[in-house]
Amino acid sequence: MTAGDINLAKSSDANKKPLIKDGHLFVLIHGLWGSPNHMSTIEELIQRLLPSSTSDKICTLRPSSFAFWKTYDGIQYISQRVLQEIFFEIEALQKDLVKVVKISIIGYSLGGLIARCVIGLLYDLDFFTNVKPVIFTTFATPHVGVQFFKENLFDYTANRLGPFMFGQTGKELFIRDSNRLLADMANPSLSYYKGLALFELRIVLSNVKNDRTVPFYTSFITEYSPFDNWKYVKIKYIKDLPEATIGKAKVRPKFVDMRRTRNLSPEEAQVFRGNIQEETSMIRRNRVLRFSSLVMIVCVFLPVWIPTVLCTSFLVSIFSVGQVRFLKKLNSSHHWSQIKSSVYDGKSNVDIENVNQGVVNRVERGRLSRQGSFKGETSEMTENTLEGIMYAREQLKQSTEPNMDDDDSDESLENEITNIGEINIKTNDDTVAKCIHDLKLQQENISIFTDASRLKLEDFKRDIIKNLNTLDWIKIPVFIDAWNSHDGIVARRGPKTNPKGTSTIGLWCSILRRHLKQESM
């Protein structure tokens, strides 16, 4: 080989473009008072269980720009922040030789509404022409807003104070904002709905019990609330759910079979032992401990924290509303045109400043994962106090039941994910293959949807339900017998504290795996 040949070979190698892999970006959006840590278990299971089901590189993003008290800033403004984080991450991934060609969005609680708003913004930018929308899932999300229906002082007060206690977000959640954002997001003629309709797979997971923050009806997108008279309900699960070992606990996913779940007669209820699950805690089994815990909450915890929490929340609301009015609107259109030119049209190089910002965002998310903060502790205190208020109100109004929920406030594992344990992927996949047809029929022939369980909703809320249900959904009711199933459904304190929630997420991942495999065929 001559020197000229060698130089030619070197020149050819230098001109070769680096191999860029197609990427599938999963955006995981937390809820009110939350942080990216709340989505850690979901992220871990996605990264562990999905890569073998697709040739695309699975990437995850847990937006961190609206953590803690910033969740009061309103769904629309928060959505702009999340959109900006998505764009920065797309550019950072491109620099890492991963081109985002698909996107899936997962929302928890308020995060599900933020996700739907983000989808509308993406649709307006014509984003989905370049990036394929694949999977949309919400965990315990109030799609129909928040409202309390019982005729008592607590519910009356909550319905009137709620819109003013959580900033602009509170107005939107209680649908007392002037524009009725939640109604707009369910309007088939608007971008929010049109964008949502483009996703290939839409799933909602809803708690049937022990979620005092987001009731079943609003997360399941229905006008029925069939689990209020709990001692008259016999829960049935999807058949042959697989066992998983999470930490030292052997548990099964908690997918409820709505078509087999039924109401009990008064005679049956007298002898019914309750909807008991495996791995029941000592507090849940022991009536004395349960009663002692309730006394502690009512007599010690609530009197100390209620005034502090309510005053803090009200002051933060005032600050948030004032701040958002003066904040500059983000120029998402310009940012997207840059990305379109550099990433998808190949007409320019990726903006290095944007790449660096994407890296900075990654560092910030990592910092939040490792460290707590005063904002985080106070916002979590607010959530726990309000949960305690509603728990005490609920228990003081009903007799002690054999299946009463337990206190799952073990040591929090928010700062790190430990070993998730043994989740048999093949067994989960086989189970999903058998039950996927039944899951798709979870809205049909439900005997517990009776006239007595039908809620008195305003007409525009019935329209929200009707419009959203025009789309195809897989709806999964979940029963986790924990003190706070709103926490448990995403296992936000970690797998060891929430083994049933972790197992449930694992089976949900197999639904995603099934879709990704079919998509790649």
Dump the DSSP string for 438-464: HHHTTTSS-TT--GGGB----HHHHHH
Would you give the end-to-end CA distance of the chain in angstroms? 45
pLDDT above 90 (res 389): no
Q: Is residue 271 part of a domain?
A: yes
Tell which wins on pLDDT, 132 or 424: 132
Q: Does the pLDDT of residue 453 top 50, yes or no? A: yes
Is residue 406 a contact partner of residue 283, using CB atoms and an 8 Å limit? yes
Q: How far apart are CA 475 and CA 489, in angstroms?
A: 14
Angstrom distance (rounded) from CA 369 to CA 44? 13
Q: How many structural domains does the chain have?
A: 1
Domain range holding 491? 21-368+383-390+421-520
Quick one: which of 204, 171, 187, 23 has its CA closest to 97?
Answer: 23
The answer to whether residue 97 is domain-embedded is yes
- Quickly tell me which residue has 């005729």 as its tokens: 151
Distance CA 266, CA 283 (A): 27
Averaged pLDDT, 448-473:
96
Can you say how many angstroms the Cα of residue 155 is from the centroid of all Cα atoms in its chain?
25
DSSP 3-state assignment of 162?
helix
Look at residues 402, 410, 412, 411 and name the one whose alpha carbon lies nearest to residue 290.
402
Output the CA–CA distances (angstroms, integers) from residue 148 to 107, 138, 291, in the order listed.
23, 21, 25
The reply to whether 397 falls in a domain is: no
Residue closest to 425 by CA, chosen among 252, 254, 242, 255:
242
pTM of the model: 0.86
Which band of pLDDT confidence, cut at 50, 70 and 90, is reported for residue 159? confident
Q: Which residues pair with 413 in a beta bridge?
A: none
- Give residue 210's region: left, alpha or beta (phi > 0; psi -120 to 50): left
pLDDT tens digit sequence for 140-154 = 999 999 998 887 777
Report which of residues 149 and 463 the model is more confident about: 463
> 3-class SS at 86?
helix
Does residue 164 sit within a domain? yes
pLDDT at 204 over 80: yes
Nearest 5°: phi and psi at 325? Answer: -60, -30
What CA–CA distances, in Å, run from 438 to 234, 284, 425? 19, 31, 20
As a whole number of angstroms, the distance between CA 408 and CA 485 comes to: 9
Q: From the CB of residue 285, how many other CB atoms can be counted at a distance below 10 Å? A: 13
pLDDT the model gives residue 4:
56
Predicted local distance difference test score (pLDDT) of residue 319: 66
- Going by pLDDT thresholds of 50, 70 and 90, the confidence category of residue 378 is very low
| pLDDT value at 105 more than 70 | yes
CA-derived radius of gyration, the chain? 24
SS3 472: coil
pLDDT-derived band at 382, boundaries 50, 70, 90: low
Lowest-confidence pick of 63-67, 362-366, 383-387: 383-387
For residues 16-39, average pLDDT: 90
Residue 356 has pLDDT above 90, yes or no: no
Tell me how far apart the alpha carbons of residues 503 and 51 are, in angstroms, rounded to a whole number. 18
Answer whether residue 154 is part of any domain: yes
The pair of structure tokens assigned to 476 is 């999964």
Q: Is 393 helix (H, G, I), strand (E, B) or coil?
A: helix
Number of C-beta neighbours around residue 308 at 10 A: 13
Q: What are phi and psi of 233, to 5 degrees?
A: -120, 130
- Residue 372: predicted pLDDT: 52
Q: Is 146 left (phi over 0), alpha (psi -120 to 50) or beta?
A: beta
Please say if the pLDDT value at position 290 is more than 80: no
Residue 54 pLDDT exceeds 90: yes
Cβ-based burial of 352 (10 A; exposed 0-12, middle 13-18, buried ≥19): exposed
β-pair type (474-478, 132-139): unpaired
Please report, to the nearest 10 degrees, the dihedral formed by the alpha carbons of residues 365, 367, 372, 373 taken in order: -90
The answer to whether residue 373 sits within a structural domain is no
* Chain center to CA of 444: 24
Contacts of 252 (CB under 8 A, 6+ apart): 237, 241, 242, 243, 244, 278, 500, 503
CB 450 within 8 Å of CB 226: yes
Q: How much of the chain, in percent, has pLDDT values that exceed 70?
A: 77
* Mean pLDDT computed over 164-186: 93
Q: Which of the residue ranges 118-127, 257-266, 314-323 would you say has the lowest mean pLDDT?
A: 314-323
What counts of helices (H) and strands (E) characterise the chain?
A: 20, 10
For residue 362, how far is the Cα from the chain centroid? 21
DSSP run (H or E) holding 367: helix 352-370
